[in-house]
Amino acid sequence: MDKRRILMVDDEVGFTHLVKLNLEKDGRYEVRIENHGAKAAETAREFLPDLILLDIIMPDKDGGEVLAELQQEASLRGTRIMFLTATVSIKGVEEHNGTIRGMPFIAKPVEPKKLIKRIEEVLKA
């Protein structure tokens, strides 16, 4: 079985490392990390992920700007994108029907099992 390729774009180095370890431990995912929003599109073009986990608040380029750039890339048109952010509470997820700017999202902090469940839902959609 081929592993699903996930690109995680988030400026929090410790958080991204922990998520990568938990996802790869599951055995179904190959995870690449990009800690600079400004480099996200370049990394995505090179890695060609099945899913991009995208933070919203980053110092060099915010998640909305990154999303707009990713959506302009022909090679990434079929790539699913999910926001993974602390800017919205778990209650906020319910209030927004689990989407921000039309993209699915999940609130930080998140337990690995809940994150994997949400990833699988997004990849099957």
Q: What are the extents of the domains in the chain?
A: 4-124
Q: With CA atoms as reference, report the closest residue to 39 among 75, 2, 81, 11.
A: 11
- Strand ordering across the sheet containing 4-9: 29-34, 4-9, 51-54, 80-85, 103-107, 99-100
CATH number, domain 4-124, options 3.40.50.2300, 3.40.250.10, 3.90.1150.10, 1.20.1050.10? 3.40.50.2300
**pLDDT of 37-55, one tens digit each?**
999 999 999 999 999 999 9
What is the spatial distance between Cα 101 and Cα 6, in angstroms, rounded to a whole number?
20
What is the spatial distance between Cα 41 and Cα 36, in angstroms, rounded to a whole number?
10
Q: Residue 30: which pLDDT band, with cuts at 50, 70 and 90?
A: very high
Residue 85 has pLDDT above 90, yes or no: no
H-only helix segments in the chain: 13-26, 40-47, 63-71, 90-95, 112-124
